[in-house]
Amino acid sequence: MELAEKESGEPRFLVSDLLAYLESYLTTEQIREVYRAYLFSADAHINQKRMSGEPYIYHPVAVAYILAGMRLDYKCLMAAMMHDVIEDTPTAKAEIQKIFDDEVAELVDGVTKLTHLDFSSREEAVAASFRKMILAMTKDVRVVLIKLADRLHNMRTLGVMRPDKARRISRETLEIYAPIAKRLGIHRICEELQDLAFVAHWPWRYRILQREVRKNHGKQQKVISGILTALRRQLVQTDIPAEVFGREKNLYSIYRKIADRKVRFADIADVLAFRIIVQSVDDCYRVLGVVHHLYKPKPGNFKDYIAIPKSNGYQSLHTIIFGPHGAPVEVQIRTEAMHRFAEEGIATHWGYKHGEEGGRIDGPSSEWLKSLTDLQEDTASSIEFLEHVKIDLFPDEVYVFTPKGKIMVLPRGATVLDFAYAVHTDVGNHCVAARVDKRMVALRTLLRNGMTIEIHVSPNVHPNPKWLEFVATSRARSNIRSFLKQLQNREAVNLGAQLLTSELQHYNTTLQELGQQQVEQMFTALGYENLDALQSDIGLGNRPVRFVARQLLGDDVALAERSKQQDQSSLRRVAIAGTEGMVVKYANCCRPIPGDPIVGTFNPGKGVVIHHSSCLNLSNDRSYSDNWIDVQWEENVRGDFLVKLRMEVNNKPGVLAETATVVAENGANIESVHADDSDGHYSVQEFMLSVKDRRHLARIIRSLRKLPAVIKVTRVIA
């Protein structure tokens, strides 16, 4: 698309240019509707100017022009024309619905930021607006395409901004918008956003790298021409119709490889790459043979994204060859359809282009959009939602298989537990064990390409707070947190009820004796909807139980008469059930188990933390008696508790297997193992076991001591 230019050399986005281009793929009636939206937007923004001094309407026209280049439908272009009218003018959504229609109004509203609500910080406002846009995108993907075009034009005109504001916008672009474009397969926009943000955020680094790339290009010009000529000649001889051309990798991608791998510019193999566009998938593999016949391939650097597409649907064959003089060069081979999708992503094939229900798409990107819908339902905070989405926007993919041969794509760094949650939330929540290539592994095992994973579940197993330490995907993290929050609320209510009951016993009364009316007046006066909400805050330590008791009883004379003589040095006693919740939490330093002598510390916002009474970490806190709670185990405590064992063994083959067998025979699980070879004769092994109670642990230790290779077994308590 050719545009007129202003005297400064910047492109001039005139509505006449846009309308002329639209004649290539829209009907006259549709073009008339786009122009009607332009007139409406121009009138709404009549007295507004951009920071550059030009009329504001230039921006919406430019955004529509970018989307027209992707050949989007006319309603999307109408919404692009009006995408700022709700946010920046007195125009209401209802007015757009009345003058145009519901579909256009929903698109405009989806792009509109939340500006009329009170937020505690700018970060919260940005996160809430982002969440609103993402949720609108899950219903109609055109919302995010308009936003990407909006951000692209803003980045093209970023030079008028203050340097600090330009850096903030650039960082936001690199962290959110460029990755979204990449995740949706729109690489052309992704790469331009990255380079524009790169030059604005790190201008000096950009100039240095740009100079090196130009210098390298000059040096390699003969090599490039030679490879192009050889490839074209060989393809003609083998009678394979193909288009061959070279391309330079965008500067930001080169910069990230240098920074992430900590290598020199000269060590980057794919600064220059060649693309070969053919007519069919069969031709892709035939051309691969031609390329490898001409040039020796670099071992371990062939990637078949045709057989196993990337998570955003991208398909191509990638190989690195040794060119003339041994220089490594990347070659990408794909069909015309694959190339078009690689440039425009989902914009190449959604439903409403063919008259179907607007904005819905199929394929890998639709799975990601569905996962975002599930994610927002399990995430209360907008900031937390934004952080979860950022995790999924940087997926260096790993390809693994289910037992039935289905391919699953997860981000690099994902674990077996992430895989379980990717299969289904219930599978993840009840995951107890896993087999990788028919071998039992720990849930924290990192995934590698080609693994076949089988998940074992148990209805008695539930998410553990420790899982949050090693899961990598937002789906797993949000589901674990959602479960723990529900568990936390139930435990907080129970703990608060016990604390309040215990406090009232000091005054020789109970909630039942005080009566429902008096209790309701009390929690209403404190601003709670019901007694459970109040007890939850007590259990979390957010509301002092002594204050609540005094508020409930009042300051009358009867208070003193009911009060028993109490020992001020005594501590409150609370029976602690054997659960792995966030309110009643078991200290990681000493890992108490049922049967151990224990003591609790009461921390606001965290609840009760249970320690073994001999834990060394308690010594610094014993002067704060108000924070101490004398706790005891309930009878028949159920659940699994983590405990650490240190074992000295003779260093010989099979010891670990014998140990695992003994532990399994005694009804326990090994959660993790760490071995330290002290010398060639013996080693020290540390195990994290899940046991039922102190007796169960004692039985396991006795059995381990009977093994011939075992020298010593001790329990580790901080």
39-90 confidence digits (pLDDT tens): 999 999 988 888 888 889 999 999 999 999 888 889 999 999 999 898 888 8
> Region 570-589: what's the mean pLDDT?
53
Q: Which residue in the list 10, 54, 88, 374 is annotated as catalytic?
A: 88
Helix, coil or strand: residue 232:
helix
**What does the pLDDT read at residue 375?**
52
Q: Which residue in the list 87, 304, 532, 658 is annotated as catalytic?
A: 87
Whether the Cβ atoms of residue 341 and residue 314 lie closer than 8 Å to each other: yes
**What does the pLDDT read at residue 567?**
41
Cβ-based neighbour number of residue 695 at 10 Å: 12
**What does the pLDDT read at residue 569?**
37
- pLDDT band at residue 619 under the 50/70/90 scheme: low
- Copy the structure tokens of residue 320: 């690195």
**What does the pLDDT read at residue 636?**
73
**What does the pLDDT read at residue 280?**
92
**What does the pLDDT read at residue 6?**
44
What CATH number should be reported for the domain whose range is 4-202? Answer: 1.10.3210.10
- Choice among 468-472, 551-555, 579-583 with the minimum mean pLDDT: 579-583
- Choice among 299-308, 590-599, 629-638 with the minimum mean pLDDT: 629-638
What CATH number should be reported for the domain whose range is 364-480? Answer: 3.10.20.30
**What does the pLDDT read at residue 195?**
92
pLDDT at 563 over 70: no
**What does the pLDDT read at residue 602?**
67
**What does the pLDDT read at residue 385?**
53
Whether the Cβ atoms of residue 478 and residue 380 lie closer than 8 Å to each other: no
- The β-bridge relationship of strands 328-335 and 397-401 is unpaired
Residues paired with 441 in a beta bridge: 434
Contacts of 678 (CB under 8 A, 6+ apart): 684
Determine the topology of domain 641-715 in CATH.
Answer: Alpha-Beta Plaits (3.30.70)
> Region 673-694: what's the mean pLDDT?
78
Q: Which residue has the tokens 């148990």?
A: 458
| Region class of 239: left (phi > 0), else alpha (psi between -120 and 50), else beta | left
One-letter-per-residue 3-state SS of 549-607: HHHHHCCCHHHHHHCCCCCCCCCCEEEECCCCCCCEEECCCCCCCCCCCEEEEEECCCE
> What ranges do the domains of the chain cover?
4-202, 208-347, 364-480, 495-633, 641-715
Evaluate whether 208-347 and 641-715 have a shared fold: no
**What does the pLDDT read at residue 30?**
93
pLDDT digit string, tens, across residues 6-19: 433 445 557 888 89
- Copy the structure tokens of residue 126: 């940005």
| Region class of 639: left (phi > 0), else alpha (psi between -120 and 50), else beta | left
Helices (H) and strands (E) counted in the chain, each on its own, are 29, 21
**In whole angstroms, how far apart are CA 190 and each of 61, 140, 184, 313, 419?**
21, 20, 10, 15, 28
Alpha carbons 442 and 175: distance in angstroms, whole number: 32
Q: Give yes or no: 87 in active site.
A: yes
When the pLDDT of each residue in the chain is averaged and rounded to a whole number, the result is 77
CA 351 to chain centroid, in Å, comes to 28
- pLDDT band at residue 308 under the 50/70/90 scheme: confident
**What does the pLDDT read at residue 700?**
92
**What does the pLDDT read at residue 620?**
54
In the chain, helix, strand, coil percent, each to 5? 50, 15, 30
Helices (H), 378-514: 382-392, 416-423, 425-429, 474-505, 511-514
- Greater confidence (79 vs 615) lies with 79
Helix, coil or strand: residue 144:
helix
- Greater confidence (607 vs 257) lies with 257
**What does the pLDDT read at residue 51?**
84
- pLDDT band at residue 367 under the 50/70/90 scheme: low
Nearest to 113 by CA among 96, 92, 130, 97: 130
Share of the chain above pLDDT 70, in %: 77
- Greater confidence (366 vs 549) lies with 549
Class (C level, CATH) for 208-347: alpha beta
**What does the pLDDT read at residue 697?**
92
> Region 372-376: what's the mean pLDDT?
54
pLDDT digit string, tens, across residues 325-365: 777 788 999 999 888 888 777 666 543 443 444 445 555 55
Starting at the edge strand found earlier in the chain, the sheet holding 607-612 runs 573-576, 628-633, 598-603, 607-612, 584-586
pTM above 0.95, yes or no: no
pLDDT at 34 over 70: yes
**Cα distance from N-terminal residue to C-terminal residue, the chain:** 69
- Greater confidence (156 vs 576) lies with 156
Alpha carbons 308 and 449: distance in angstroms, whole number: 11
Question: Could you give the dihedral angle defined by the CA atoms of residues 279, 280, 285 and 287, in that order, rounded to the nearest 10 degrees?
Answer: -10
Q: Give yes or no: 88 in active site.
A: yes
